[in-house]
Copies of this chain bind each other. A is one copy, B any other.
Amino acid sequence: MTADFDQVRRFWQNPSVERALIKYDIASSRAHVRMLGETGIINRNVSQKVIEALAQILKELEDGVEFLSANDSDIHLGLERRLEEVVGDDAKIVKIAKSRNDQIATDIRLWLRDVSLEIYSKILDVRQVLVTLAERDLEVIMPGYTHGQPAMPILLAHWWLANDARFRRDLSRLKDLYVRMNALPLGACAIAGTNQPIDRSLVASYLAFDDVIENSLDAISDRDYLIEFSSFASIVGTHISQMSAEILLWATQEFGFVRLPRALVFRSQNMPQKRNPELLEILRSRPAILNGRLFEFLTQLKGLSISYSQDLQECLPGLIDVVENLKFILELTKELLPTLKFDLKRMRELANTDLTNAANAVDYLVERDIPLDKAASIVESLVSYCKERNKQLTDLSPNEWEQFSPVFGHEIYDYVAIDESVESRSSFGGTAQAQVTQALARAKAILDADHDFVRDLTGSKVKL
């Protein structure tokens, strides 16, 4: 079974997992050794020597010298072997008061913490784009839909800001889970702690962890953050998929609101007139991977004891897949949105139909004390009347209005005018331009604050 057994090892030593974790393995080893020296558990000269050797190995790695070989059964043993090549027997001290169980748990958290910083930035990038587009489109009127049917005219800027609000919540979710993730498992050792007088807070401070995961059983087995991160990623993915699906709808010839630039559209071979929006389709479908991985992790965790087993490493290729695809869809979103060409005339035209104006005629009546039910029924007759004559409400003469209700006076023309309609929705969070302008200002301020937050967070991290 030699051949097959090797294959197992190959699956195990998933190269992308190793690549992701190796430098964090060096970093956590270094912090651990530094603490061992500081607390006098080992001679400080020895610890210093080993720390320098680890720094050298890290540097070589960053210079492209990969030291892991096919014979190393995992990254921890590979690092120990390499360390021994550099400093000889002193290398052995890295094993003191430490096991693979707590170290792998530490490495994953260090890696996912750095990944989270990247994700923070990418979400901010998308929000920057959304805010910029909202500013650009403050005067663009389009139909607003419910149940897929035209309901009331809204500003395109309002729609961009609705999307911004979603990604704002996404960032807040990441902030929350980050706190639970940014805690140190190292020092739990294999399962029960150690008889060495280690100082776990010291290691936490070296590695810029905000907290220590106290209970040793919990420290080696906690993978809650897997589900939390993956669930967070699924929500971001859902937002992106939904936004893409909506833009794809707008990109149909029938809607005709938006076109992709030629450079981003892939030509049909046999149908030269076609512009296939594949990139948006990718953004609609790709996030499904995130959902699938979430299910995978939930299945993997079922039935495991509060302890360590190999099952807890089986998630890593999936987690890397989540991260890569999440980064990818955020980047693509950022690049794609500004390239969309909107047909403002078409959007305004479709907004300006009885289908969106009728609601305003109802408002007109209700404000003049006609009960809602009655008002709705009057306006329904009006709309039918128009349809039969192929007219719009705005085309009706004062006489015609009056036929349906004596309450209709000249002001009705202000109500059914599209700009006035938009302007009238001036409640807090409504689509009136004044409201949207204020909302935009708030969105920018929050974005600035979030930029500051991420900058501070990044600054507070130890450079590995």
Contact = CB atoms under 8 A, between A and B. Distances in A.
Q: Which of A214, A379, A442 is most buried by chain B, counting CB atoms within 10 A of its CB? A: A214
Contacts of A367: 195
Interface of A is mostly: helix
A167 to B, nearest CB: 11
A362 B271 CA distance: 8
B193 A430 contact: yes
A158 B285 contact: no
B227 A231 contact: yes
A235 B227 contact: yes
A99 interface: yes
Given A96-B366, A99-B269, A224-B169, A303 B306 contact: no
B279 A288 contact: no
Say how many copies of this protein the assembly contains.
4
B302 A242 contact: yes
Nearest to A267: B376
Contacts of A16: none
Given A227-B238, A274-B149, A292-B295, A284 B303 contact: yes
Given A176-B176, A303-B284, A193 B292 contact: no
A214 B429 contact: yes
B292 A296 contact: yes
Contacts of A255: 252, 254
A361 to B, nearest CB: 9
Contacts of A294: 231, 292, 294, 298
Interface in A142-194: 144-154, 158-159, 161-163, 165-166, 169, 172-173, 176, 180, 187-194
A457 interface: no
A332 B4 contact: yes
A277 B308 CA distance: 12
Contacts of A89: 371
Interface in A294-350: 294-311, 314, 318, 328, 331-332, 335, 339, 350
A349 to B, nearest CB: 11
A222 B227 CA distance: 21
Contact of A1 (B241, B256, B308, B339): B339
Contacts of A227: 231, 234-235, 238
Given A147-B281, A215-B429, 12 more contacts: A89-B371, A148-B249, A151-B268, A159-B306, A192-B430, A193-B428, A193-B435, A216-B429, A231-B294, A287-B299, A294-B298, A299-B302
